[in-house]
Amino acid sequence: MKQLNLYAENDFSEKAFKKLLVHDSPYFKILNFNFQPGQELPVHSHDIEGQLSLVILEGEGEFLGEGDSTLPAKAGDVVISDIAEPHGLRAKTNLRLLVTIAPPI
């Protein structure tokens, strides 16, 4: 078993969102992104098989999708998306996001 605490290992920066590689294996890749208000992970997609989960651990913002579509994002929200489907996130408050990608990119 491998253990770490996201609150201890990753913080926030005014310059840009902060990214932490939590885990990478042949089975899945896990990343933590911390955003300050206004920071965003721009909409993107990869033309490959697989899915990802976006979990909001803390804070509020918007999930970004195809075109200009948005969905409200708040603590406890889970979004599942194909890797090939456009996805992104914009923060309105300090926001902690956990992303799990399977299989790993």
Structure tokens at 97: 């996001």
Q: Give the end-to-end CA distance of the chain in Å, rounded to a whole number.
A: 23
Q: Is 51 in the site for its own copies (CB under 8 A)?
A: yes
Q: Of 6, 12, 18, 40, which lies in the binding site for its own copies, with binding defined by CB under 8 A?
A: 6
Choose, by CB under 8 A, the member of 36, 45, 81, 94 that binds its own copies.
Answer: 81
Residues 39 and 64: their CA atoms lie apart, in Å, by 13
Determine if 77 is a binding residue for its own copies (CB under 8 A).
yes
Piece in contact with its own copies (CB under 8 A), picked from 11-19, 39-47, 52-60: 52-60
22 Cβ neighbours under 8 A, 6+ residues apart: 4, 6, 30, 31, 32, 98
Taking the C-alpha atoms of residue 64 and residue 78, their distance in angstroms, rounded to an integer, is 13
The yes or no reply on residue 28 touching its own copies (CB under 8 A) is yes
Considering the rule CB under 8 A, would residue 18 count as an interface residue with its own copies?
Answer: no
Question: How open is the CA angle 37-39-45, to the nearest 5 degrees?
Answer: 140
Q: Does 103 bind its own copies (CB under 8 A)?
A: yes
Choose between 39 and 73: whose C-beta lies nearer to its own copies.
Answer: 73
Query: Min. distance of Cβ 16 from its own copies in angstroms?
Result: 21
